[in-house]
Amino acid sequence: MFKFLFILINILIFAGCSLKPEIAYNNSVIPSKFKNAVDKNSKIEYIQPNWEDFVKNDKLKKLIKLALENNRDLKIAILNIESTRTTYRIEKSKYFPSIEAKANNTNLRDITSNNTEISRTYSSKFGASYELDLFGKIKNLNDFALQSYLATKYATTATKISLISEVINSWNTLCANSEQLQILEKNIENLTLSYELTQKKFDMGITLIDDVLSAKTSLKEAEVSLLNQKTIIEKNKNTLELLISTTIPKNLIPSGFEENEKSLMLIQPGISSKVLLSRPDIIQAEYSLKAKNANIGIARAAFFPSISLTADYGLASSSLSSLFNENSRTVWSFIPSINLPIFKAGENMANLDYAKAQQKIALAQYEKTIQSAFKDVSDALAERANITKQLNAQKDLVNTAKKSYDISLNSYKHGLGTYLNVLILQKKIFDSQRALIDTKLNELINRVNLYTSLGGNEKID
């Protein structure tokens, strides 16, 4: 009797407790400001655009829409949301009593007597069962399911942003390689003219066979590079088609950089690093941490008794025809039960230790996600700080190389200088042009990196 009273008093004391600990966040895992951010006195405000505002090119917008409609990775992520949402609904249903209707037919023959008749009993009942959530087990199970669902939802948002970024970068890479192809074709035209000129000069006895062979070698090398570039472009298309999960419509294939150099908004980040808290991968990590924290409450609740209430109410009769008339009898039962854990060979303690370890892992992962996000933004800003100067310097280099080549070619045509010098300067102009295309591509990729590292502005319904 005293033991029962002791248990009852403890139940009343702890009733409503969730047993879930508070999460000890470390607020100093990242600096408060970004490196190379916009000056605080600048009038430029940080804008976090969605992808439709970020992307300015209509062809690229259509490709992104195709990817969002068809991409298999995104579809799997969305289906994972549906799966975890269903799990949450299952756990939420445990807040309410379980009610069911029962119908029984019992046939009995008593072998201890000489009675050979079989007795029959028919019954119809409504039953209800309910577990009292005295120590927050059901609440924490529900919280775990909710936090897991929200984590999955933001993981899908991160997948969406990643997909958009991959489509943009693949498109830009295809643009760059198409532009490189045009430069190669132009270079082959120039090398062909140089080869023909050298051949004529050799036929006239003005130059040596060495110049002819050098010109032909350069031409053949360029033709091989052209074939390799065509292969690269086809691979680019294959990558883009995998992302959009369909064939690229011909009217959406880019011809070069000319139509795409200003296809993306330039995002200007603000001073405060708090903007990172809107990144979906950070929000996902936080919800995962909260889910692991709820698990500790579930594991702690296993040390305490659980109380279930079960009740039945209905009618019983010896014949089916009289089950629902005045000849039937009212039957009912009320069965409260208590389950008190006494000895489980350390199972409950092991489960609790495991839950605590998982929570610590999730906390470390959450902090690492924030630090990684800060690094992503810092890297993008560091590159942005010099990318414009690099572009201008590379353009100047192309113009200088062109002037040097024109002078050298003119001199060679008039019998001055060597053909080797012409080839060297021609290669320099070709290399500088390709480097300019690469720098333009890096500038566009940097814009995409700023869009993704600052968290995008996308939603999943």
Residue 109 lies in a domain: no
Q: In the numeric block, which tokens belong to residue 460?
A: 């999943």
**Could you tell me if 369 and 287 are in contact, meaning their C-beta atoms sit under 8 angstroms apart?**
no
409: in domain: yes
Give the count of domains, the chain. Answer: 1
Give the domain CATH number at 144: 1.20.1600.10
Cα 301 off chain centre by: 34
Beta-strand ranges (E) seen in 13-73 are: none
Q: Is residue 285 part of a domain?
A: yes
CA–CA separation, 163 and 143 (whole Å)? 30
Contacts 24+ apart (CB under 8 A), 339-345: 339/305, 339/306, 339/307, 339/308, 340/7, 340/305, 341/302, 341/303, 341/304, 341/305
Residue 329 in any domain: the answer is no
- 118 is a domain residue: no
Q: Considering the domain boundaries, does residue 117 fall inside one?
A: no
Q: How far is 50 from 356, CA to CA, in rounded Å?
A: 38
- In order along its 461 residues, the chain shows pLDDT tens digits of 444 444 444 544 444 556 777 777 676 666 666 665 554 544 444 567 889 999 998 899 999 999 999 988 888 888 888 888 787 777 666 666 777 777 777 766 666 656 566 677 767 776 777 677 677 777 878 888 888 888 888 888 989 999 999 999 999 999 999 999 998 998 898 888 888 888 887 888 777 788 888 888 888 988 999 999 999 999 999 999 999 999 999 888 887 776 666 788 887 765 566 677 778 988 889 888 988 888 788 787 777 777 777 777 766 666 655 656 666 677 777 777 777 777 676 777 888 888 888 888 888 888 888 888 888 888 888 888 888 899 999 999 999 988 988 888 788 777 777 777 877 888 888 889 999 999 999 999 999 998 888 888 887 76
Q: Are the CB atoms for 232 and 434 separated by under 8 Å?
A: no
Assess if residue 405 is contained within a domain.
Answer: yes
Beta bridge partners of 100: 127
Q: Do 412 and 418 meet the contact criterion of CB atoms below 8 Å apart?
A: yes
CA 441 centroid distance within chain? 24
Residue 68: inside a domain: yes
Residue 370, C-beta contacts closer than 8 angstroms, at least 6 positions apart: 29, 30, 276, 282, 285
Range of the domain at 420: 17-96+137-303+353-453
Instruction: Tell me which H or E stretch contains 189.
Output: helix 137-203
